[in-house]
Amino acid sequence: MTDASARKRIGIVGARGYVGSELIRLVAAHPHFELAFVSSREREGQRVRDHESGYAGDLAYVAYGPEAAAGQGVDALVLALPNGKAAPFVAAVDAIAPQTLVIDLSADYRFDDGWYYGLPELTRGNYGAQRRISNPGCYATAMQLAIAPMRDVLEGAVQCFGVSGYSGAGTTPSDKNDPDKLRDNLMPYALTGHVHEREVTRQLGHSVEFMPHVAPHFRGLTITANLHLARSVTREEAVARYRERYAREPLVRVADEAPWVSAIANAHHVDIGGFAISDDGRRLVVVSTEDNLLKGAATQALQNLNLAFDLEETAGIPL
């Protein structure tokens, strides 16, 4: 394991967003990490502690461009930027400090075979000390964990109905994060071809059809996955598969009852349950919930940082 006294310096780009805020708190409280800088153009020069109640240090926000961020000599650079914004920072690191670990939370590199796709519960065996890690999408995490234990008996496409709190739409104003428009409402969007649909289909090697919606609550998402099976299974067999698959995974919890999204807010794990079986045993419905900002983003990034630095994977993660 890594020497606990050798603290790793972490830089965060995109620190004003909801996920960036969670990352600041997690990294600042981590026993083996320290914040080297937090970059936000909108907050340049302002003290971080004036915006983040979980941070008591003296850092002020900076507004680093790609070259400046790459040149800070950090051990890891975490990119919490919107989709389509990561490439200049990655190019700068490649040119200036190629050994710097980069974790990208956007979708920009999830389809790049040169990057490690970091859903540790399913992919840690594929990690080979890569210095470029792509963090999975929030919905994609919940879907894959809900489907993976039954992967070998699936028949036909899996349908996933998803509902997320509006924090998943980020801080840039839109209909999908406008509380007034969402009040008493459920807003469907991107009902075919969503990036997480393509992401999960690619990672599992099996067709997944995803129908996302936004609800009026702030954080937390739920997936209801409809799995058609090649053979009949009992509910007991299905539940046993999930319990066995995730028995040694502290951030995945399996229960008989379907989990409620209200119970997952501010938690760092995924809840999986429900397990409804059709009369013929050929259809299984599973429910998966997570906090989209934590296990769906920041907590998973911390898992990947720990993995890359040969630390306990749950170091710094409240269990």
Give the residue numbers annotated as catalytic, written as ranges: 138
Q: Are 229 and 283 in contact (CB under 8 A)?
A: yes
Distance of alpha carbon 294 from alpha carbon 2, whole angstroms: 24
Write out the chain in H/E/C secondary structure: CCCCCCCEEEEEECCCCHHHHHHHHHHHHCCCEEEEEEECCCCCCCEHHHCCCCCCCCCECECCCHHHHHCCCCCEEEECCCCCCCHHHHHHHHHHCCCCEEEECCCCCCCCCCCEECCHHHHHHHCCCCCEEECCCHHHHHHHHHHHHHHHHECCCEEEEEEECHHHHCCCCCHHHCHHHHCCCCEECCCCCCHHHHHHHHHHCCCEEEEEEECCCCCCEEEEEEEEECCCCCHHHHHHHHHHHCCCCCCEEECCCCCCHHHCCCCCCEEEEEEEECCCCCEEEEEEEECCCHHHHHHHHHHHHHHHCCCCCCCCCCC
